[in-house]
Amino acid sequence: MAKFKDTDIQALIGNVLRAGTIISISIVFIGGIVYLYRHGQTAAGYQIFNGIPDFLQHPGSLITSAFNLRGQAIIQLGIILLIATPILRVICSAIGFAIEKDYLYVGISILVLLIIFASLLNGHAG
């Protein structure tokens, strides 16, 4: 088994962050183009508050709507991917620390993940 170095893991984590950011920005950009193509000529009605559409509130309908090329759903998926990118970074860090047998930092990484997931489930952002 090959020995991983700190620089290898740092490069992997950097690539994960870079790729996640580029992919999510591309998805949001494509969703914006689709949305403007379909709704660019629509006049905004500020007298009535519509809120968030139902198809954006549930994961199943969000994914179905994105595959049906609804611009808002594609943008929402890109934003979710952007939020998931640093979470994936912490997961990669924990795996890298486990490979290096640095169990203190594995524990810290897992604690950070637990805090992030508890915040997501609890609904508090900060």
Q: What is the 3-state secondary structure (H, E, C) of the chain?
A: CCCCCHHHHHHHHHHHHHHHHHHHHHHHHHHHHHHHHHHCCCCCCCCCCCCCCHHHCCHHHHHHHHHCCCHHHHHHHHHHHHHHHHHHHHHHHHHHHHHCCCHHHHHHHHHHHHHHHHHHHHCCCC
The pLDDT of residue 32 is: 95
Query: Residue 108: its pLDDT value, please?
Result: 95
pLDDT value of position 110: 95
Across the range 21-48, mean pLDDT stands at 90
Mean pLDDT for the stretch of residues 36-51: 83
pLDDT one-digit tens code per residue, 49-97: 877 788 887 888 888 888 999 999 999 999 999 999 999 999 998 998 8
* pLDDT at residue number 2: 57
